[in-house]
Amino acid sequence: MEFSLERVQQRSGRPVYRQIADEIRRTIESGGLAAGERLPPIRDLARRLGVNRDTVAQAYEELAASGTVQSSVGRGTFVACRPGAPQATAFHLRFAPTAERLLAFERARPRFGTAEGAVPMHSLIPDPSLYPADGFRRALNRVLRDGGPDLLLYGVPQGHAGLRSALSDHLSRSSLPVQPDEVVLCHGASQGISLALRLFAVQGDAIAVEEPTYNNVLGAALALGLQTAPVPMRKDGLDLVALERVLERPEVKVLYTIPTFHNPMGTTTSRRHREALLEIARRTGKPIIEDGYEMELRFEGRASPPLAGLDRSGLVVHLFSFSKSLFPGARVGALIARGRSVDALLALKQATDLSDALPLQAALADFLESGEYGRHLPRLRRLLRGRRDALLDALETHMPEGTRWTTPEGGYQIWVELPGKIDTSDLLADAVAGGVLFAPGSQFHCDGRASRCLRLTFAMAQEEELRVGVERLARVVRDRLRCAPRRASRMLV
Q: Which is nearer to a copy of itself, 142 or 385 (CB)?
A: 142
**In whole angstroms, how close is the CB of 406 to a copy of itself at the nearest point?**
25
Question: To the nearest whole angstrom, how small is the minimum distance from the Cβ of residue 407 to a copy of itself?
Answer: 28
Q: How far is the CB of 39 from a copy of itself (least distance, A)?
A: 16
Residue 257's CB: how many other CB atoms inside 10 A? Answer: 26
What does DSSP assign to residue 321?
E
Closest CB 356 distance from a copy of itself, rounded Å: 6
Cβ 139 to a copy of itself, closest distance in Å? 11
Q: Residue 107 Cβ, how far from a copy of itself at the closest point, in Å?
A: 9
The Cα–Cα gap between 433 and 472 comes to 10
Q: State which residue, 209 or 220, has the beta carbon closest to a copy of itself.
A: 220
Euclidean distance between CA atoms 277 and 288, whole angstroms: 10
Nearer to a copy of itself, 152 or 433 (CB): 152
Cα 172 to Cα 85: distance, rounded to the nearest angstrom:
63
Indicate the helix (H) or strand (E) that contains 388: helix 372-398
Min dist CB 301 to a copy of itself, Å, is 29
Asked, as a colleague might, if the bond just before 485 is cis with ω within 30 of 0, I would say no
Q: Are 166 and 316 in contact, with CB atoms under 8 Å apart? A: no
Q: Which is nearer to a copy of itself, 405 or 458 (CB)?
A: 458
Identity at 484, one-letter amino acid code: A
Nearer to a copy of itself, 351 or 429 (CB): 351
For 457: left if phi > 0, alpha if psi spans -120 to 50, otherwise beta; the answer is beta
Dihedral sign, CA of 55, 56, 61, 63? positive
DSSP strand pairing (439-440 vs 76-79): unpaired
In the bound complex, what is the minimum distance in angstroms from residue 115's beta carbon to a copy of itself? 18
**Which is closer to a copy of itself, CB of 5 or CB of 153?**
153
Nearer to a copy of itself, 257 or 268 (CB): 257
- How far is the C-alpha of 320 from the C-alpha of 296, rounded, in Å? 9
Which residues, in sequence order, are CB contacts of 449 under 8 Å at separation 6+? Answer: 442, 493
Instruction: Look up residue 410 and give its DSSP letter.
Output: B
309 with 274: CB under 8 angstroms?
Answer: no
- Three-state DSSP at 191 gives helix
Residue placing its CB nearer to a copy of itself in the complex, 11 or 137: 137
Measured from the CB atom, the residue of 119 and 201 that comes closer to a copy of itself is 201
Smallest gap from residue 466 Cβ to a copy of itself (A)? 20
Nearer to a copy of itself, 75 or 482 (CB): 75
Q: In whole angstroms, how far apart are CA 467 and each of 17, 103, 161, 387, 470? A: 45, 37, 45, 10, 5
Of the candidates 143, 128, 212, the residue with the CA atom closest to the CA atom of residue 367: 143
Judge contact between 105 and 226, C-beta under 8 A.
no
CB of 219 to a copy of itself, least distance (A): 4
Looking from the CA of 121 toward its CB, the CA atoms found within 13 Å total: 35
3-state secondary structure of 311: coil
